[in-house]
Amino acid sequence: MDPVAPNGNELLLALLAMGLPLLSFFLVFFVTRPWVNLSCAVSLVCSGLPLSAAVWLLAGHWRMEAPILWQLTWMEGGGALVTFGFLLDPLSLLMLVIVTAVSFLVQVYSLGYMAGDPGKAKYYAFLSLFAWSMISLVLASGLMQLYIFWELVGLSSYLLIGFWHHKFSASQAGKKAFVMTRLGDLGFFLGIIVLLLNLGDLSILGLNQQAAARLTPGLLTASALLIFCGVVGKSAQFPLLTWLPDAMEGPTPVSALLHSATMVAAGVYLVSRLFPFYQGSPQALGWVLVIGTVTMLLSSTMAMVAEDIKQVWAYSTVSQLGFMLMGLGAGGYFAGVYHLATHAAFKALLFLCSGVFIHQYATNDFFAMARAGARGLKVPMLTLTLAGAALSGVWPLAGFFSKETVLAALAELPNPAWLWLGILGAGLTAYYTFRLLFVMWRPRRLEPPPEHGERAGHGAHEGHGAAVYWVMAAPLLVLAALTVLLGAAGPALQSFLAWGRPLPAGAHHTWLVWASVLVVATGAGLAWLEFGRAGAAQQGFLSRMPGLWNLFANRWYLDWLYRWLLDHVVYGLFSRLFTLNDRRVVDGGIDGFCRATLGAGWLFSLLQSGLLQYNLFTMVLVMALVGLYFLLV
Amino acid sequence: MNSLHTYLFIALVLFCIGLFGLLKRRSLIGMLISVELMLNGAGLNFMAFNRFLAPDPAVGQVAVLFIMGIAAAEAAIALSLILALFRKIRSVNVEQARQLKG
Amino acid sequence: MTPVMGEYIRPEAVAWAAFILVTALTFVGALIAVLPRNIIYNVFGLATCILGVAGLFIFLGSEFLAMMEILIYIGAISIAIVFAIMLSQPMHVQIPPAWRPKLYLSFAVSAVVFVAFSIIVLRTPWEVALERGQDWTVRRLGELFLTRYELLFELISLALLVAIIGAIITAAALGGGRKSEGGS
Amino acid sequence: MNAGFPYLSAILLAPALGMLVILLLPHGNQRAVRWVSLVSAVICLALSVYLYAAYDRAAAGLQFVERASWVPSLGIFYYLAVDGINLPMVLLTSIVFFTGVWTMWDLQHRVKEFFALMLLMVVGVYGVFLSLDLFFLFVWYDVSLFPMYPLIAIWGSTRKEYGALKLTLYLLAGSALVLPGILYVYFQSGLFTFDLVQIAQAGLPVEAQYLGFFLFLFGFGVLAGLWPFHTWSPVGHVAAPTAVSMIHAGVLMKLGAYGVLRVGMFLCPQGLGDWSPLFALLATVGIVYGAFVGLAQTDLKYVIGYSSVSHMGLVSLGLATMSQGGLSGAVFQMFAHGIMTALFFSSVGHIYDRTHTKLIPELGGMAKVMPRASFFFILAALAGIGVPCLASFWAELLVFIAGYRAYPVLGVCAVLGLVVSALFMLRVVQKTFYGVKNERFAQAGDMTMVMIVPRALLAGTILLFGLLPRLALDLINTGVAPLVGMFK
């Protein structure tokens, strides 16, 4: 499949999609910032048009036969060639639509959510920057371009997570997100360098088609794993998963964006983007599978004890990302991508719904929300339930189908343990999702809604009118529709992603469907018993096991470990020692040298006594010795 | 008595005694006296060479006469300097004259 | 008269005795000129030493120089020094005892110089000139001064003149300057 | 190219004449002093931009050559020319000079002397960058160093005499190695000419290159902040007044790296081969070490100072790789770091002017108090972290690739330094600009529109070269290519 050059129409549309958000960023940030409404309008237009362009492109290329490639030299020097351009193929087109759609919806939603916030214009500028980076990442034609926008995605999420930076926890979370993903990117970057030095070609098509043939297996695995480090950081996989729950400090729409289509999706997208490359190295795929599984189970357990609604969804994101990686690691390319797509829809929906509650009740604790009468808000409550059901994989929602594809991919593996672990994960997901849903639907007692206290971070709450409510509700409905519809689009998408060719029909495991339905039902049933039924204590079985509870609530002490490492190794050891060395040894040495020089000067000044006879001594002595020397030698 | 070495060593001893005095004495006048001794040692040397080696016996004597002349001049100058210094610091002790110390 | 004496005292012995006497005179005088702290003793030591050197000059064959030596050193320089002492140093002003290390250092340096020069003296192969003139007369000296060494003679005269004028100026102007400074 | 207007001499003359005019102005006429400085800065900037645009990238090589014999008996030439290596440096100097003058517009204390000395320093810097004659290069080098002492000692702040003295001593020690180096090369070449190009073309004996490069490496390396001869730089930065910090960290440190490149590597390409592992090791230690030490600092300027040590380590690492990519990256990094540091110091200068402190624990919440100043600082910090689409990213990319290729272990360590530098920059940003507003400084004003201009120029340069790196790299590549040929 040799790439073809784009025609004028395609070029225009793609560049529009890539360029407009950047334009919007500069325009809003530097020019229109004082005029909030104008800024929002600019930003909305500049994210709406790329969405239309993306849809147009997708529709126009539903039966595309060869990837479309267009690129310029961005930088060249010393054997490194960095290109800037776009690569249109089914995967990038699908992802482009997802990204533009979610970011557009989030921008619409933010109109209501951020109403009255003094930094609203700046917020929209950052959203545009975020959209620009992600779109350019998705369309990247070369790995280096992908890396560059990968970093920019990290930067924009840093800016957005720490958007309410007067809160210490927010700025801390932003920093944590940036540094932890940077740690992973280190591996990504080294992987790129390894590929560059050994292959000399960083174009995605080239990597996918030739890398396996031209690299030795060892190098291939090494570079694949190094690149996967970047995925681990960005998609918050084990062991770098703790930044994502903290990233909840950002405004909720940002979380929606972050969790569904942009930041964390980038990691999974990268693996799918380079999927043929990864297929060249079974060991690397094996690691992907292992990391995905560990992450999924670990974060599911964390979600089971969380009481902050956003935390629950954050853990579920991590676990679902792990699930996608399991699918990819098992060789199910379509499974991973399909789950990514459906997940983007329902996870965005979950966050946006939660945002409505948070906005309304000024709390993140869903027990408190429920007591305050959350079930009174019909649209968000219904859509939340729908999305939650999709998350736990209830038929006939999108989540069910994508989950089944992933499980089917896992079933292809020779070792059945992976499949059972995947099913176990699905059960845990159902349990914690329904736990939350039951608590929300069936609060133990209702309280009068609390006064809208000063909840740091939420500007003024003057805009509670119907308009604001509906501005926030409309995207919910769109996403809910997607959540329902995407389930049916599975086969179509599959053939689209496979370039229209019919796929070898995999074995259908009817028992698998029943098994997973059973597990989901068990999880949901357990949740019903503990939280849903009348008179339930609304305390999970885990609360009777304080050891496990603490372990899960403290994120398996991963954060503690990082804190310890940072405090005692980075700050306590290296930083302190190097600083001491700088003060005492390097600087002290120089100062000592200077003092010694001064001392020597003082010593020599003693010779200058003004006593002529001493000069005479020296003179005579030297003359005599010189005379002796010339005589004797 | 009639060997060159005898005289040379006498001259040398004289010279070294003068040198010793020059280095040791703190009195400027004492130093001047020591210098005279050294000059005499040198003159003695000239005469010794004149007596034992030189082709023309007059040349050595000329040299010694010159030395005497120089010595006289030097003594005059030195004494006047000593007097001037004495008026300045009320002492002829050379260790008191330390204006050269920075 | 001489033969009579020659029977009892041989001329060589007399010469030796005289030589030893003048040498001793020289050394003892030099030591007296250097060692005692009293400056007047030093001057006497210098005079004694000069006498010894004059004697040595006679042994070396130049009575004229011996005479000049005594004339200039004892008659002029020593007297000048005595004047200087009288003018400058009150006899009762005691100079504090010498600093010991300085004494040792001076001795060491002198010793080194002594050794160095001894080696030079001993190791140099002294060679006698092939033809040696025998004219020791003062006339010859005078001729040389006015012919071959004319320029040097002029120069030394000039140096003496300058020295004398300089001495007067230094002694007078420096001291006077101070006085006038104090007066004004 | 010999004929035509002598642009390079004009660049050299503009600040020199400016200095003379300032010296002739009567005392107390501060407005005139400022305007004269600004005019000479604008002339330099305009000429540099023109040169940058007019340089024929296809023809490459030395252009705008001005060469005249000065002392024929000693082989000294007045020899100015630009190529792909020094042209970005000249542009950098002009930008920093211009913004520096504008930044110090509000100076009240001994204005005349300050600007005169600053112009003198700039003349020296231009001289070093433009001269291709070893003798002149050394003279200009010392001319640019000497005004630092009074500039810091009179107008500086924290421990200014100490800082000034330390800086001066260090730099003079460096130039004390450079001078014997130059003389050594002069005699070893056997040509008895100071013309750098001639000596380079004739080539030096290999043993002479060995010693010669050693002298140049450590002589110029001191000024480039090569570890462990770096401690003068944070101390000096902290003590110096804003514009001097800008020129000092932005341009003067580049003189060192430029010297290593232009004199050391140009004349002793084979000597470099023997020293390069040590050079690369010191550079890498500097990168990681600077970042870690920066992590523990509490003074904003110290933080920037150590980040400079870290970033200049990258320059050195790039030079030590002896490859096209490494050298291009190093030159680009010099340029990008110069602009970035100037922006850093310019922003910190404003904060210090308004709050009279640069201690991080005392500040905090500055983003609320002075959003504009904070924006510029944060932009510089992001550039320092190596965020893509900002100028330094490309330079670091090239250096890392080349570094990894030449020295895999050191390359990985250097990349690791990137994470630490991200940590420490973000830490500073968080502690200084984020968090709750400090009421003590609530009244401290933000930048006025006038004061934004120089910062915006710097920020715009960072963005421009970040988005379009080929603007610089295509030029730099032409300059570096012949040099790389000499290593083989």
Total of domains in chain D: 1
pLDDT digits (tens, 9 = 90+) for C65-117: 999 999 989 888 898 888 888 877 655 455 666 678 888 888 998 998 999 88
Say if residues A391 and A346 touch (Cβ distance below 8 Å).
Answer: yes
Residue B39 lies in a domain: yes
Using a CB-CB cut-off of 8 Å, the residues of chain A touching C106 are 617
Residue type, C118: S
| Nearest CB to C109 within list A620, A628, A631 | A620
| Nearest CB to B76 within list C129, C152, C167 | C167
| Nearest CB to C68 within list B1, B58, B65 | B65
* Distance of alpha carbon B47 from alpha carbon C54, whole angstroms: 11
Find the residue in D nearest to A196 (Cα).
D401
Per the structure, the complete domain to which residue D42 belongs is given by: 7-486
* Distance of alpha carbon A259 from alpha carbon A313, whole angstroms: 9
pLDDT digits (tens, 9 = 90+) for D51-90: 888 888 888 788 888 888 888 888 888 888 888 888 999 9
| Nearest CB to D231 within list A148, A158, A582 | A582
pLDDT grade, residue B99 (50/70/90)? Answer: low
Q: Which domains does chain C have, with CATH numbers?
A: 8-90+137-174 (1.20.120.1200)
Total of domains in chain B: 1
Phi, psi of A386 (to 5 degrees): -60, -50
- Subunits close to C (at least 3 CB pairs below 8 A): A, B
Q: What is the pLDDT of residue C28?
A: 94
* Distance of alpha carbon A235 from alpha carbon A272, whole angstroms: 13
Q: What is the pLDDT of residue A246?
A: 82
Q: Identify the H or E element spanning A74.
A: strand A68-77
* Distance of alpha carbon D90 from alpha carbon D122, whole angstroms: 11
Beta carbons of A611 and B99 less than 8 Å apart: no
pLDDT digits (tens, 9 = 90+) for C167-179: 888 877 655 444 4
pLDDT grade, residue B34 (50/70/90)? Answer: very high
List the end-to-end C-alpha distance of chain C, in Å, as a whole number: 75
| Nearest CB to B92 within list C65, C83, C89 | C89
**What does pLDDT average to over chain D?**
85
Determine D/C contact with 3+ CB pairs under 8 A as the test: no
Q: What is the pLDDT of residue A458?
A: 42
Per the structure, the complete domain to which residue B33 belongs is given by: 4-97
Residue A372, Cβ density class (10 Å: 0-12 exposed, 13-18 middle, ≥19 buried) = buried
Residue D205 DSSP SS3: coil
Low-confidence ranges of chain A (pLDDT < 70): 1, 445-466, 500-508, 535-538, 610
Give the strand pairing for A68-77 and A80-88: antiparallel
Using a CB-CB cut-off of 8 Å, the residues of chain A touching B92 are none
Residue D175 lies in a domain: yes
**Higher pLDDT among residues D9 and B87, named by residue:** D9
Beta carbons of B73 and C178 less than 8 Å apart: no
Residue D2 lies in a domain: no
- Give me the residues paired with residue A81 across strands: A76
Task: Assess A633–C contact: CB distance below 8 Å, yes or no.
Answer: no
Strand ranges in A384-542 using DSSP code E only, listed in sequence order: none
For residue B15, pLDDT beyond 90: yes
Residue B102 lies in a domain: no
Beta carbons of B40 and C16 less than 8 Å apart: no
Residue D201 lies in a domain: yes
CA dihedral over D63, D69, D73, D76, signed as positive or negative: negative
Using a CB-CB cut-off of 8 Å, the residues of chain C touching B83 are 84, 87-88, 170-171, 175
Residue for token digits 């004697």?
Answer: C55
Question: What is the ipTM metric for this complex?
Answer: 0.70
* Distance of alpha carbon A355 from alpha carbon A219, whole angstroms: 46
Question: Nearest CA of chain C to the CA of B77: how many Å?
Answer: 5
Average the pLDDT over D135-143 and give the result.
Answer: 89
Q: What is the pLDDT of residue A447?
A: 58
Which one of C138, C169, C170 makes the best mutation probe of the B interface by having the most chain B beta carbons within 10 Å?
A: C170
pLDDT digits (tens, 9 = 90+) for D445-473: 777 777 888 888 889 999 898 888 888 88
pLDDT digits (tens, 9 = 90+) for D380-436: 888 888 888 888 888 888 888 888 888 888 888 888 888 888 888 888 888 888 877
Beta carbons of A631 and C112 less than 8 Å apart: no
* Distance of alpha carbon A90 from alpha carbon A92, whole angstroms: 6
Residue B41 lies in a domain: yes
Say if residues D311 and D333 touch (Cβ distance below 8 Å).
Answer: yes
- Give me the residues paired with residue A76 across strands: A81
Contacts of residue D126, Cβ cutoff 8 Å, sequence gap at least 6: D11, D12, D15, D44, D90, D93, D140
> What is the 3 state secondary structure string of A445-478?
CCCCCCCCCCCCCCCCCCCCCHHHHHHHHHHHHH
Contacts 24+ apart (CB under 8 A), C4-11: none
For residue C180, pLDDT beyond 60: no
Cα dist. A585→A208, A580, A582, D231 in Å? 52, 8, 6, 11
Residue D354 lies in a domain: yes
Beta carbons of B23 and A612 less than 8 Å apart: no
Find the radius of gyration of the CA atoms of chain A.
30
Phi, psi of D384 (to 5 degrees): -65, -30
Residue D1 lies in a domain: no
Domain CATH number, residue B28: 1.10.287.3510
Question: Nearest CA of chain B to the CA of C25: how many Å?
Answer: 11
Beta carbons of A624 and C105 less than 8 Å apart: no
Q: What is the pLDDT of residue B102?
A: 54
* Distance of alpha carbon A486 from alpha carbon D333, whole angstroms: 49
* Distance of alpha carbon A306 from alpha carbon A299, whole angstroms: 11
Cβ-Cβ pairs closer than 8 A, B with C, add up to: 234
Angle, alpha carbons D332-D338-D343 (nearest 5°): 130
Tokens (6 digits) for A514:
């029943």
